[in-house]
């Protein structure tokens, strides 16, 4: 009985999504009792250590029921770009209600949209947020609501801000849907100049950082933000890592931004994508000093191995990474 009481419970929202499934698996691997919120559990087989519960992440009633007895709520819901408003705010209000009811700590993945154009070369937790896009303004407002809930109701929120996602199971990121979509056919599509450094987050490492912060969640303030440094590499570095993993040269094409902008007024998703073009045209990296102070050594997989594993997870035939092979360090 005493052993049961020491096992902590995590509720993962968006448990079938790009980040949610990796986080759920990581928490389960570390001995947490994991509930994964999904819209429908029909015909789903839950991985070991994970219980699927049905519910709508926008419903306060559903989240309050799902979060009963939870120690943390991992908010990995990412609505389609075309539905960010109002879905982002509906989820935020439901999460706040569930965290108030259960006393759980809320963990939220932030991104760099908040900082607008031009992006600073180095982004720290104290960097001013001046969003220049609709989605950036939505993210800033969502975070403001979480901070307000911390001040007014004592709801604890920990934001872990990261760069572009890659790796882990499933599809849904720029890497999966654009860059490596045709990697098996020897083609890479890169959205910006190949020489400009871009911030990336390898999802298994990010999930491990979430899990470590969750164990220490009560040691932090009611509203805390940490930056996950991940990998900061140029397009040339990414292409080279893909070629190493695939064992052959690849053809590199660019993103047809002009055509996307021309069609944006008529194609809602293209409109949403076009406002993010700037992210691929300015160098930026995330400063992880505060995160390192909080959890010690930050989980980090060498870039060559991370790209190899990410391509393999997408169904590509990759070469084994040689032990001791040179790995790119975080810039």
Q: How big is the chain, counted in residues?
A: 331
Q: Which tens digit of pLDDT belongs to each residue from 169-203?
A: 888 899 999 999 999 999 999 999 999 999 999 99
Q: Under a CB-based contact definition with an 8 Å cutoff, are residues 107 and 20 in contact?
A: no
- Residue 278 pLDDT > 50, yes or no? yes
pLDDT at 321: 67
Q: Which long-range contacts (CB under 8 A, 24 or more apart) does 122-131 make?
A: 122/284, 122/285, 122/286, 122/287, 123/161, 123/199, 123/227, 123/284, 123/285, 123/286, 123/287, 124/227, 124/287, 124/289, 124/290, 125/161, 125/225, 125/226, 125/227, 125/287, 125/290
Spatial neighbors of 7 by CB under 8 A, at least 6 apart, are: 31, 32, 33
Which of the four pLDDT bands, split at 50, 70 and 90, describes residue 323?
low
Q: Which tens digit of pLDDT belongs to each residue from 105-163?
A: 999 999 999 999 989 999 999 999 999 999 999 999 999 999 999 999 999 999 999 99
The angle subtended at Cα 171 by Cα 165 and Cα 175, nearest 5°, is 45
Q: Output phi, psi for 321, to 5 deg.
A: -80, 125
Q: Global pTM? A: 0.94
Residue of higher predicted confidence among 316 and 45? 316
Spatial neighbors of 206 by CB under 8 A, at least 6 apart, are: 19, 22, 109, 160, 162, 165, 228, 230, 299
How far apart are alpha carbons 151 and 252 in whole angstroms? Answer: 49
Three-state DSSP at 329 gives coil
Q: Which tens digit of pLDDT belongs to each residue from 222-231?
A: 999 999 999 9
- Give residue 69's region: left, alpha or beta (phi > 0; psi -120 to 50): left
- Measuring CA to CA, which residue among 155, 151, 157, 165 is closest to residue 112? 165
How far apart are alpha carbons 162 and 228 in whole angstroms? Answer: 5
DSSP state of 109: E
Which of the four pLDDT bands, split at 50, 70 and 90, describes residue 99?
very high
Q: Under a CB-based contact definition with an 8 Å cutoff, are residues 166 and 201 in contact?
A: yes
Give the H/E segment covering residue 89.
helix 84-102
Residue of higher predicted confidence among 291 and 4? 291
How far apart are alpha carbons 174 and 154 in whole angstroms? Answer: 36
Q: What is the C-alpha R_g of the chain? A: 20
- Measuring CA to CA, which residue among 131, 150, 299 is closest to residue 225? 150
Average pLDDT over residues 28-47: 87
Q: Under a CB-based contact definition with an 8 Å cutoff, are residues 295 and 131 in contact?
A: no
pLDDT at 326: 40
How far apart are alpha carbons 131 and 114 in whole angstroms? Answer: 5
Three-state DSSP at 230 gives coil
How far apart are alpha carbons 27 and 20 in whole angstroms? Answer: 11
């Amino acid at each position: 009985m005493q052993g049961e009481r020491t096992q902590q419970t995590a509720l993962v929202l968006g448990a079938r999504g790009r980040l949610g499934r990796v986080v759920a698996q990581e928490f389960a691997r570390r001995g947490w009792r994991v509930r994964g919120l999904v819209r429908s559990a029909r015909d789903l087989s839950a991985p070991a250590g994970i219980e699927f519960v049905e519910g709508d992440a926008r419903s306060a009633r559903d989240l309050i029921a799902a979060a009963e007895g939870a120690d943390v709520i991992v908010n990995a819901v990412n609505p389609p770009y075309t539905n960010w408003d109002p879905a982002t705010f509906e989820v935020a209000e439901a999460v706040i209600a569930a965290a108030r009811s259960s006393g759980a700590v809320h963990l939220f993945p932030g991104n760099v949209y908040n900082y607008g154009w031009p992006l600073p070369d180095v982004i720290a937790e104290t960097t001013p947020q001046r969003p220049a896009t609709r989605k950036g303004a939505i993210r800033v407002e969502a975070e403001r609501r979480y901070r307000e809930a911390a001040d007014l109701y004592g709801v604890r929120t920990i934001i872990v801000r990261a760069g572009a996602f890659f790796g882990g199971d499933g599809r849904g990121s720029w890497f999966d849907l654009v860059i490596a979509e045709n990697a098996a056919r020897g083609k890479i599509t890169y959205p910006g100049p190949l020489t400009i450094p871009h911030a990336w987050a390898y999802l298994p490492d990010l999930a491990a950082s979430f899990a470590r912060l969750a164990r220490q969640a009560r040691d932090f303030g009611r509203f805390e933000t940490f930056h996950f440094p991940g990998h900061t590499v140029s397009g040339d570095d990414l292409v080279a890592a893909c070629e190493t993993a695939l064992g052959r040269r690849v053809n590199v094409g660019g993103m047809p931004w002009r055509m996307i902008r021309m069609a944006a007024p008529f194609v809602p998703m293209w409109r949403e994508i076009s406002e993010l073009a700037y992210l691929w045209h300015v160098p930026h990296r995330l400063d992880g000093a505060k995160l390192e102070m909080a959890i010690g050594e930050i989980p980090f997989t060498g870039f060559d191995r991370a790209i190899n594993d990410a391509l393999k997870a997408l169904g590509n035939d990759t070469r084994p990474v040689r032990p001791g092979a040179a790995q790119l360090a975080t810039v």
